Structure 1
Amino acid sequence: MKTPSNSTVPTDQSPENILEVTTPTRLVHLDDKTIGYQLPFRQNRGKPPNRYSPDIGKTSKYPIANHVSTEKLSEPLKAFVHQLSAIHIPTKVSEALKDPKWVQAIKEEMKALEKNQTWTLETIPEEKDYRM
């Protein structure tokens, strides 16, 4: 097919002469409001939620004791459940270091971490405050 001589389409296919077809783009502005999903403001500032608190049973809206009873358990099982409930879990390191069982558990855990090379014991720099 031959191009007429009065045509404005160049016959030369060099990069400068390649024509591109474009359509005008329309920008949609809806009162300058952002369209899309926005994450809510983060309010916890790095603090874990209260549901991870060790005192959750005391502050829970629906404590399990209101729904579970040991009434129908045999006496040995009842004693076992009460023994488990009586165990105190320390919330501070200084509190744990007062109990020889916790001290032993800490030592065993540290030994296992060092053996597996998942933990290295480092000295605290002098300028750091490390009071317990």
Structure 2
Amino acid sequence: MTKRNKIIYWVATLWLALGMVATGVVQIMKMKEEADMFARLGYPAYLLTILGVWKLLGVVAVLAPRFPLVKEWAYAGFFLAMSGAIFSHAAVGDGGKEFFGPTLLLVLTVVSWYFRPADRKIIPVNS
């Protein structure tokens, strides 16, 4: 892995982790603004806790060494959660401001996944 790619990976991954921890904590705490937004999007309040806990667990998985299969699931979960957030905002006709956070986290997820080092990837088994 080149030094450039390692820098891209760690910058994207640390920003991704920061964003997921921040939003996960806000969701677990069921802050009024977040709860109101979920209600406006048509989701039940208990989903805040589920998503918040999953985000925090996903951050641990992405940052921890080893366990490449768990990392793949965490990246997939981040991708599904953020793309779902984008489509949910689009479905209710939200403006650009509401798209910024999930779009940024989606891009960071893809960049972090793409530039991850070889020891953080699943190595295909030749049969």
Give the TM-score normalised by structure 1.
0.27
Question: Which protein has the bigger helix share?
Answer: 2
Give the TM-score normalised by structure 2.
0.27
Structure index of larger Rg: 1
